[in-house]
Amino acid sequence: MTDQNVALMAHLMRRAGFGASRSELEELAAQGYDNVVEALLNPASQPNLDEDLMMRYFPSFYQAAAIEVNIQNWVYRMINTPRQLQEKMALFWHMIFCAGHSKIDSGWEMGRMIAMFREHGMGNFRDLLMSLSTSPAMMYYLDNTESHKVAVNENYGRELLELFSMGVGKDEAFNYSEDDVKACARAFTGWSVAPPYPPFPYGRSPWEFRYDPADHDASDKTFLGRKGNWNGEDIINMIVEQPATARFIARHLYNFFVADEVPVPSWRQTPPKDPELIGRLEQAYYDSGYEISAMLRVLLTSDNFKNARFTKVKNPTEVVVGTLRMVGEHRGELKPGLFEISQYPRYMGMDLMNPPTVEGWHTGHEWIDSGTLVERINFAADYLGKTDLPGVKDMVERLRAQGDLTPEQFVDACADMVGCLNLSDETRSQLVAHAQKSGALGSAHQGEFASRTGEMFQMIAATAEYQLG
Amino acid sequence: MAKDNVLAVLSLSGGNDGLNTVIPFTNGLYRDYRPNLGIPEDEMIPITNELAFNPHMAPLKKYWDEGKMAIFLGVGYPTPSYSHFRSMDIWHTCEPHEIGNEGWLGRVLKELDPDAENVLTGVNFGRGLPRALAKEGVPVASVGDLETYGLLTGIEGQDQRTQALDVFSKMYGSTIGSGYVMDYIRRTGTDALKGADVLAAAPAKYSSTVEYSDTPVGQYMKNIAQTHLAEFGTRVLYTTSPYNGFDTHATQAGNHTKLWKDVSYNVDAFMNDLREHNASDNVTLFMFSEFGRRIADNGSGTDHGAAGIAFAIGEQVKGGIYGEYPSLEPSKQEEGGNLKYNMDFRQIYTTIVEDVFGLNASPIVNGSFEKVAFL
């Protein structure tokens, strides 16, 4: 009974966005899968979020210094932007190019960094690495501000190679040597920020990227076998050509959009789960001259992606924003309560704008422990049980229009409404038994129908299956 | 059989102003640096010839008099961070240079209960887990409010919720090899339900003549007492005073007063509660903040500083002053007009790890530190 086009669209929107309401899914499915993918890949073809309206209702967002306000701003965008893939890519890069508020100590700088990911995250990877390497927040976070001609700090130089572009190795080989790390770090000496931190004695003012030629090591360096008077930009130009970089980005895209991979430190020894798709993503990287959107097009239109439904554990932001988009809360209607909402990813173990380390969050099933699972279940169940919210009300009405249903039909139809969720046989049989115990459910009694349906939605939100996306 | 020792932690988040908490009232420089926020001498509560409590700490004076309160002066770590979050991370992870993602109490819990047999060996009160308690494979319940804690708390009607939880336990109980991830989620759900069921029984078991105040600190301290008194085998009870409240950049006079009134009253209530139930013998309460504040006031408040003050209270605590008051002399200050630390917080942790829990401290606090003989 599940419409396969709607189910596929639900999958696409969960992965390439933050989910959608039932009525949106049906409208999008009618547009055709490939057309929707193209629209996602071309954010400029979609209307932008109404920034004026947002600023009018949330004037505190304007040049906000507080981290909480910047997180609210971001969560509001995730819930409301029509440019869903663009926002999802901002989250993607935030989870790889990790820099955290705990050290940066400025919500404003964190907000700027996310805005940079939003602007460049689907564009050319070379440009993105340049933006990253001139991001004041990143320069400070990885101590490049402490790296001088006469005293090199290798932190950024190393992480640029290890975590942001090439990875330690592939196919069991190593991608670069310790000497390459040193050369890379030397090439980035003089890449710094102003004013310095800590902000004694006058307090904080916004940072600017500052290149100081006098503090740059202009002597010859050998990087990946090539000798020259390399500066940071030369290094980036060499990095983006490397097969290791194509592989590294391809695996990250696969891990985020298709299926949970082994943790990054194991990638050198562990071949990709799906070498065929990874190969095609690498090819798209080169064919397009390092365009991320070209890789995404190959990925999102592949059967490998389309068939990978419910194979990933949702990250906390996906749980929170995806649930709200489905039920229609904080969408369109501007109202208080955003602060509370924006804290929920943190309660579930994902403190946005403050990843635990430069290596980011541990993802996949590691999102879940007994504390975070209680938060995830209660959050989703609370919202899916609110039958007066527009998204849920619509789901209830669609079910009621199907007429009288047997308990089996009722459970299947409810799961279908909740993002075409696949229930395992064990889970389904428990829910059917529960529906049977509650007795016959007539579609004629609107009030009782709504409350019984809301209750079933809550039970579905509480299933282990709902944790997957 | 002797009861296992228990640690309760109250984190005073935001950066508590040590200078106005334990006041070096005979030091003339205190008056010079605090023209606006200096506490009048006739209001403060002297505890030694040189030091006095903030007037609003009156309820805690009796623990000092009984010799059950240790006061740690000049607590910090090398190269102070002036960021709340980074400094708190350093206290949580014991990693002042690298960024760590594993907490010292997470490591303690792993040693105490390596196979996670008791899902309540560590319990946090508040939303979201502080990094101090984070470690892979260590389940820690995180409880917003013990009275309403549980799974599917949004389901209205007691019967409906009971039925729903029954369905939940069956859905999560059937781990019949549906893949590693699904089995893992179901096992975790079963653990969570077990923990929630057990914890939910605590308020019903509890009766006391002690009244806590109707504030988050009051509620959390009461919840800690309730959990301890319910004897679930919990060894680490942790809570954080509400979101960065001690960050008193402005209008400190009124705010700092309110904060310490709240903390002192409820810590006293907590101790009285445990004593009323003959359950205080094995509990040590530790209170700290991620940093102290700037020596000079800024007119209405104080800015982020370096060395701060910490406390331990309990029947096993040897009361007294530990460490030295950092000098207020300009030449002896930390950069930026701050107090210089003379006691590393990891010295206090080392003492707790070894003397409260009987564990080897160095792998837990990341290094060897001289103990502070307060236990």
Rounded to an integer, what distance in angstroms lies between the CA atom of residue A89 and that of residue A85?
6
Query: Is B78 touching A (CB cutoff 8 A)?
Result: no
Rounded to an integer, what distance in angstroms lies between the CA atom of residue A53 and that of residue A81?
13
| Structure confidence at residue A290 as a pLDDT band (50, 70, 90) | very high
DSSP class of residue A103 equals H
Q: Do B180 and A426 touch (CB under 8 A)?
A: no
Residue A311 dihedral angles phi and psi, to the nearest 5°: -110, 0
Residue in the structure block whose two tokens are 């349906």: A453
| Structure confidence at residue B175 as a pLDDT band (50, 70, 90) | low
Residue B97's pLDDT is what?
84
**Contact indicator for B339, B306 with CB cutoff of 8 Å:** yes
Residue A156's pLDDT is what?
95
DSSP class of residue B81 equals -
Q: Chain A: nearest CA to B291, how far in angstroms?
A: 14
Q: Chain B: nearest CA to A377, how far in angstroms?
A: 7
* Opening angle at CA B157, ends B155 and B161, nearest 5: 50
**Amino acid at position B273, single letter:** D
**Amino acid at position B265, single letter:** Y
Extract the tokens encoding A349.
Answer: 């173990």
Given a cut of 80, is residue B163 above it in pLDDT?
A: yes
Residue range A227-249, pLDDT digits in tens: 999 999 999 999 999 999 999 99
Q: Which residues contact B42 (CB under 8 A, 6 or more apart)?
A: none
Q: What is the mean pLDDT of residues A107-135?
A: 97
Q: Which of these CATH numbers, 3.40.720, 2.60.98, 3.30.200, 3.30.420, describes B6-146+212-365?
A: 3.40.720
Q: Which among A174, A73, A190 is positioned nearest to A139, based on CA atoms?
A: A190
What kind and span of H or E run contains A38?
Answer: helix A33-41
Cβ under 8 Å to A: B residues 171-200: 171-172, 174, 176, 178, 180-182, 184-186, 188-189, 191-192, 195-196
Is the sign of the CA dihedral B211, B213, B216, B221 positive or negative? negative
Extract the tokens encoding A306.
Answer: 């389309």
Residue B243's pLDDT is what?
67
Task: Give the pTM.
Answer: 0.87
Q: Do B139 and A371 touch (CB under 8 A)?
A: yes
**Every domain of chain A and the residues it spans:** 4-306, 316-467
- Edge-to-edge strand ranges of the sheet holding B51-53: B22-24, B51-53, B45-46
DSSP class of residue A421 equals P
- Lowest mean per-residue pLDDT among A188-202, A238-252, B41-55, B229-243: A188-202
* Opening angle at CA A431, ends A430 and A435, nearest 5: 120
- Give the 3-state secondary structure of B23-42: EECCCHHHHHHCCCCCCCCC
Q: Which residues contact A452 (CB under 8 A, 6 or more apart)?
A: A438, A441
Rounded to an integer, what distance in angstroms lies between the CA atom of residue B342 and that of residue B91?
16
Find, in chain A, the residue whose alpha carbon is nearest to that of B86. A102
Residues of B in contact with A378 (CB under 8 A): 151-154
Q: Do A105 and B153 touch (CB under 8 A)?
A: no
CA A444 to chain centre: 42
ipTM of this complex:
0.94
Q: What is the mean pLDDT of chain A?
A: 94
**Contact indicator for B104, B364 with CB cutoff of 8 Å:** yes
Cβ under 8 Å to A: B residues 217-276: none
**Amino acid at position A458, single letter:** Q
Q: Do B189 and A358 touch (CB under 8 A)?
A: no
Q: Which residues contact B374 (CB under 8 A, 6 or more apart)?
A: B70, B72, B312, B317, B318, B320, B322, B348, B351
Given a cut of 60, is residue A256 above it in pLDDT?
A: yes
Residue B84's pLDDT is what?
84
Q: What is the mean pLDDT of residues A368-380?
A: 93
Residues of B in contact with A362 (CB under 8 A): 136
Q: Which residues contact B292 (CB under 8 A, 6 or more apart)?
A: B15, B16, B17, B18, B19, B76, B305, B306, B307, B308, B309, B338, B339
Q: What is the mean pLDDT of chain B?
A: 93
What kind and span of H or E run contains B45?
Answer: strand B45-46
Q: Do A464 and B172 touch (CB under 8 A)?
A: yes
Extract the tokens encoding B73.
Answer: 């002066």
Given a cut of 70, is residue A334 above it in pLDDT?
A: yes
CA B63 to chain centre: 18
Q: Do A464 and B189 touch (CB under 8 A)?
A: yes
**Amino acid at position B14, single letter:** G
Q: Which among A100, A147, A126 is positioned nearest to A359, based on CA atoms?
A: A100
Given a cut of 80, is residue A251 above it in pLDDT?
A: yes
Given a cut of 80, is residue A203 above it in pLDDT?
A: no
Residues of B in contact with A370 (CB under 8 A): 119, 139-141, 188, 191-192, 195
Given a cut of 90, is residue A358 above it in pLDDT?
A: no
Residues of A in contact with B184 (CB under 8 A): 365, 368
Residue B205's pLDDT is what?
93
Q: What is the mean pLDDT of residues A7-25?
A: 98
- In 3-state terms, what secondary structure has residue B202? helix
CA B49 to chain centre: 29
Q: What is the mean pLDDT of residues A360-370?
A: 90
b (16+ CB within 10 A) / e for A59-97: eebeebeebbbbbbbbbbbbbbbebbbbbbbbbbbbbbb
What is the phi-psi region of residue A203: left when phi exceeds 0, alpha when psi lies from -120 to 50, beta otherwise?
A: left
Query: Is B119 touching A (CB cutoff 8 A)?
Result: yes
Residue range B277-309, pLDDT digits in tens: 999 999 999 999 999 999 999 888 898 899 999
- Give the 3-state secondary structure of A195-247: CCCCCCCCCCCCCEEEECHHHCCCCCEEECCEEECCCHHHHHHHHHHCHHHHH
| Structure confidence at residue A200 as a pLDDT band (50, 70, 90) | low
Q: Do A105 and B188 touch (CB under 8 A)?
A: no
Residues of B in contact with A462 (CB under 8 A): 151-152, 164, 168, 171
- Lowest mean per-residue pLDDT among A101-110, A123-132, A385-394: A101-110
Residue B292's pLDDT is what?
96
* Opening angle at CA B342, ends B336 and B344, nearest 5: 105
Residues of A in contact with B83 (CB under 8 A): 102-105
| Structure confidence at residue A86 as a pLDDT band (50, 70, 90) | very high
- Work out the number of other CB atoms within 10 angstroms of the CB of residue B261: 18
Residue in the structure block whose two tokens are 């029509």: A82
- Work out the number of other CB atoms within 10 angstroms of the CB of residue B189: 26
Residues of B in contact with A374 (CB under 8 A): 141-142, 150-151, 192, 196
Given a cut of 80, is residue B151 above it in pLDDT?
A: yes
Helices A338-347 and A370-384, packing angle to 10 deg: 150
| Structure confidence at residue A1 as a pLDDT band (50, 70, 90) | low
What kind and span of H or E run contains A14?
Answer: helix A4-16
**Cross-strand bridge partners of residue A227:** A222
Cβ under 8 Å to A: B residues 314-353: 335-337
Give chain A's radius of gyration (CA, Å).
Answer: 24
Q: Do B85 and A366 touch (CB under 8 A)?
A: no
**Cross-strand bridge partners of residue A228:** A221
b (16+ CB within 10 A) / e for B310-320: bbbbbebbebe
- In 3-state terms, what secondary structure has residue A348? coil
DSSP class of residue B18 equals G
Q: Do A105 and B127 touch (CB under 8 A)?
A: no
Q: Which among A297, A267, A275, A274 is positioned nearest to A285, based on CA atoms?
A: A297
**Every domain of chain B and the residues it spans:** 6-146+212-365
What kind and span of H or E run contains B74?
Answer: strand B69-76
Find, in chain B, the residue whose alpha carbon is nearest to that of A349. B128
Q: Which among B256, B270, B257, B254 is positioned nearest to B218, based on CA atoms?
A: B270
**Cross-strand bridge partners of residue B304:** B293
Residue A440's pLDDT is what?
73
Find, in chain B, the residue whose alpha carbon is nearest to that of A348. B128
Q: Do B142 and A464 touch (CB under 8 A)?
A: no
Q: Chain B: nearest CA to A340, how far in angstroms?
A: 11
Residue in the structure block whose two tokens are 């169940």: A381
Extract the tokens encoding B324.
Answer: 């030295």
